[in-house]
Amino acid sequence: MMKERFLLAKERIVTIKEETMLEPFDLYFKQVALFLVKLADAYELVEREGLMQMDADTLKQMHDTLFEDLLSENYKACYANPAYAQEMLSEEFSQYLSLVCGEMFAAIPGVYEGDLFELVIRMELFLELYACFLCSFEELGTVPKVQEVKDIIYYYAADYMEDALAKRVKAKCDPDMDFAYQIIMGSDLSSPDYLYRFGEYISDNETKTAAYMAAASDAQIKLMADTYTEGYRIGFEKTGKDLSKKKVVQIIYPLGFERMIKVAIANFEQMGLRPTIMRTPHSIFDRRGLAVGGFYSTNINKQFAYDHKDDEALYLDKQFMQRKLDDSKNAYELVKELAKVHAGPALVEVFGEAPFLPEEKEQAPKMDEVQQELATKYQAKNGQIINEYIPGKERSFTIIAFPLPCIGEKYAEIMDETIKLNTLDYVTYEKIQQTIIDTLDACEYVVVRGKGENRTDMRISLVSLADPKKQTKFENCVADVNIPVGEVFTSPVLKGTSGVLHVTEVFLNEIQYKNLWIAFEDGMVLDYGCDNFASEEECTKFIKDNILYHHESLPIGEFAIGTNTTAYKMGQTYGIAHLLPILIAEKTGPHFALGDTCYSHAEDVAVYNADGKEIIARDNEISILRKSDVSKAYFQCHTDITIPYDELGEIYGVTKENGKRSIIEDGRFVLEGCEKLNEALDA
């Protein structure tokens, strides 16, 4: 039946080029129809020849044809660009038609996976929209009512949400959903040609990474894979969670690293874990701006992703949100046995791309305050659903990062340095960090101040210890779930945690912020601003959308002191400090995280440092609300903001007797026992 729907839809779409539509919509429908014909032809080609049997030239040509409209130079004159759509079409319809055009590109993965459903529902959405305009034009000589167009999009999203979420959750939990696995295990990885089978945009980053991997020694590949998987295993061991009960691990990684991932898969299988490797979402059903959630590649056009991050604003209401939550719960219910044995994600990040400074387009959809509240409620409630089926107290994770070739001519050298960074001797750091923890355990609060242009002035309240011989305030973080080594962190007491956090430049979730400042009172965000835009209003909206995720305020979920001065040295030596991911950057100075604590959904699991002391700072005044009203306890976000050593004036603790215990002065560690950390800074 799906094949019949496909053939009927394609036959109708082909005829559109011969028909006449009311201007200026005629060109829009003809251009989108042309792209859908390309998609249909590509699907039939893959079906006829078989993805794994197609030759490299054919795969490359198909890839270039399907992705060409989203290239930056072509996007300027693409209807998926809200600014171009408004310029070419009437303002009342432009956002809706731009959304639909953008949604057509989300059908590309289905072509490669042989998923006819993904292609057909988008072809039929387009045809329903076309029929609406054509009928109004032929019968009334005018355009349809805006509500008619809105209804078409609303019911498309509502009707297929259940199928989309069921497929996505199944891909997350069921190893038999093995599209990427089959490519990794069944391809010749000595040539980058295999990359064109994934159905993602392939740039020089992916092909050159694959080439680097192909040329690397077996020992180096094994070292990279072992560091990644061993960190995952230790994460369970350190928190006392039983890995033997788990059967599934979710691998999230960037294309080009397949040789390493292949070894990692073997390592995980020795632990009794089968991998799920789903795709990063692209459609209106599940995408979240620039965030990744599966295997991914260099974003073909971050501005396109940014322009459409709030497309849901065109149809989101309370009824839709509730339906989406119901569909999410139903999706997990369908795979509840697999979800029960899901061990959590193992993530590989990359860094090196030029900083992205998005253009805020007034033509792009924006959520109003009611919709922002609905969106944040959805994230919180959906987080509860996920935790119900994959309990946080039973799962773990790991994250490791590597550079991309676009980082510059010294890519291979930086890659080698990063591998060394990821395998630093954790025993040395553990001992030094324990010295810092022992000092701060005797303190009631910590003061952090910037220097020079940095205006940071923060006072951080610490939890009290009932039994200092058995309890501690900070976790001694070495290379397990967060690779590389290098931080001590705590969940601050919100009451009394106040001041201003400021960084002259920072990159959060691939977005650049200039002179970002955030004021806190009793641990909650009070005010904020930056210099990204000329107007204060634009700046505050930018921060609320992309750091606060539409929340009116967020708590400080974490305070940490990064100790990995080697990572800082690497950033300075190669001039790449501004390109380092949060995973590494957070280890290069003190940092504050907005949102949930590091123990989110697992606060009741006892965690111990190597000295045997229990880390008791796992809750704060917000997360503890889970015991009375879980909807108020979590925000489903955790964004680290780091002050680099060169902007750091001092960090010191204050004891109950008002004694000052200095940790850092003028960007250098002054606490006895931490001298080794200054070697990299001095170098």
Q: How far is CA 300 from CA 51, 92, 130, 221, 296, in A?
A: 22, 28, 28, 28, 11
Q: Is it the case that residue 247 has pLDDT exceeding 90?
A: yes
pLDDT at 512: 87
**Over the stretch 251-285, which tens digit does the pLDDT of each residue have?**
999 999 999 999 999 999 999 999 999 999 889 98
Q: Is it the case that residue 529 has pLDDT exceeding 90?
A: yes
**Mean pLDDT for the stretch of residues 526-543:** 95
pLDDT at 356: 85
Calpha distance 191→298 (Å, rounded):
19
Q: Are 663 and 452 in contact (CB under 8 A)?
A: no
Angle at 391 between CA 385 and CA 392, to 5 degrees: 110
**Over the stretch 129-167, which tens digit does the pLDDT of each residue have?**
999 999 999 998 899 999 999 999 999 999 999 999 999
**H or E stretch including 416?**
helix 411-422
Q: Are 494 and 621 in contact (CB under 8 A)?
A: yes
Calpha distance 547→360 (Å, rounded):
15
Calpha distance 468→596 (Å, rounded):
26
Q: In what order do the strands lie in the sheet with 590-595?
A: 475-477, 487-490, 556-562, 590-595, 638-642
Q: Which of 585, 581, 596 has its CA nearest to residue 562?
A: 585
Phi, psi of 315 (to 5 degrees): -150, -5
Q: Are 386 and 378 in contact (CB under 8 A)?
A: no
Q: Categorize the per-residue pLDDT at 289 as very low, low, confident or very high, splitting at 50, 70 and 90.
A: low
Phi, psi of 502 (to 5 degrees): -140, 135
Neighbours of 605 (CB within 10 A): 15
Burial class (CB in 10 A: 0-12, 13-18, 19+), 425: exposed
Q: Is it the case that residue 582 has pLDDT exceeding 90?
A: no
pLDDT at 602: 87
In the numeric block, the tokens 């940790």 are attached to: 663
Q: Which residue type sits at 71?
A: L
**Mean pLDDT for the stretch of residues 449-458:** 97
Calpha distance 377→551 (Å, rounded):
10
**Mean pLDDT for the stretch of residues 484-491:** 94
Calpha distance 134→392 (Å, rounded):
52
The residue ranking higher by pLDDT, 232 or 507, is 232
**Mean pLDDT for the stretch of residues 392-412:** 94
* E runs forming strands in 298-436: 342-351, 398-403
- DSSP letters along 563-632, please? --HHHHHHHHHTT-GGG--HHHHTTSSEEEEEES-TTTT-TTS--B-TTS-EE-----TTGGGGGT-GGG
Cis, bond preceding 24 (omega within 30 deg of 0): yes
User: In sequence order, what are the beta bridge partners of 655?
Assistant: 443
pLDDT at 81: 98
**Mean pLDDT for the stretch of residues 401-421:** 95
**Mean pLDDT for the stretch of residues 541-565:** 94
Phi, psi of 496 (to 5 degrees): 90, -5
Burial 622-656 (b: 16+ CB within 10 A, else e): bbeebeeebeebbbbbbbbbbbbbbbbbbbbbbee
Q: Is it the case that residue 590 has pLDDT exceeding 90?
A: yes
Report helix angle 91-105 to 116-140, nearest 10: 160
Calpha distance 462→505 (Å, rounded):
28
- DSSP letters along 470-492, please? TEESSEEE-SSSBSS--EEEE--
Q: Are 273 and 246 in contact (CB under 8 A)?
A: yes
Strand bridging mode 274-276 / 342-351: unpaired
Q: Where exactly are the structural domains of the chain?
A: 2-144, 202-398, 424-682
In angstroms, how far apart are the furthest CA atoms of the chain? Answer: 85
pLDDT at 287: 73
Calpha distance 363→89 (Å, rounded):
12
CB neighbours of 339 closer than 8 A, spacing ≥ 6?
169, 173, 332, 389, 390
Q: Is it the case that residue 567 has pLDDT exceeding 80?
A: yes
- DSSP letters along 362-385, please? TTS----HHHHHHHHHHHHHHHHH
Q: Are 465 and 472 in contact (CB under 8 A)?
A: yes
Query: What rounded mean pLDDT belongs to the chain?
Result: 94
pLDDT at 631: 87
Q: Is it the case that residue 288 has pLDDT exceeding 70?
A: no
Q: Which residue type sits at 632?
A: K
Burial class (CB in 10 A: 0-12, 13-18, 19+), 142: exposed
Indicate the pTM of the whole model: 0.89
Q: Is it the case that residue 290 has pLDDT exceeding 70?
A: no
pLDDT at 482: 84
Among residues of the chain, what percentage have pLDDT more than 90? 86
Q: Is it the case that residue 579 has pLDDT exceeding 70?
A: yes
Q: Which residue type sits at 289?
A: G
**Over the stretch 292-314, which tens digit does the pLDDT of each residue have?**
788 999 999 999 999 999 999 99
Q: Categorize the per-residue pLDDT at 511 as very low, low, confident or very high, splitting at 50, 70 and 90.
A: confident
Structure tokens at 75: 């996007």
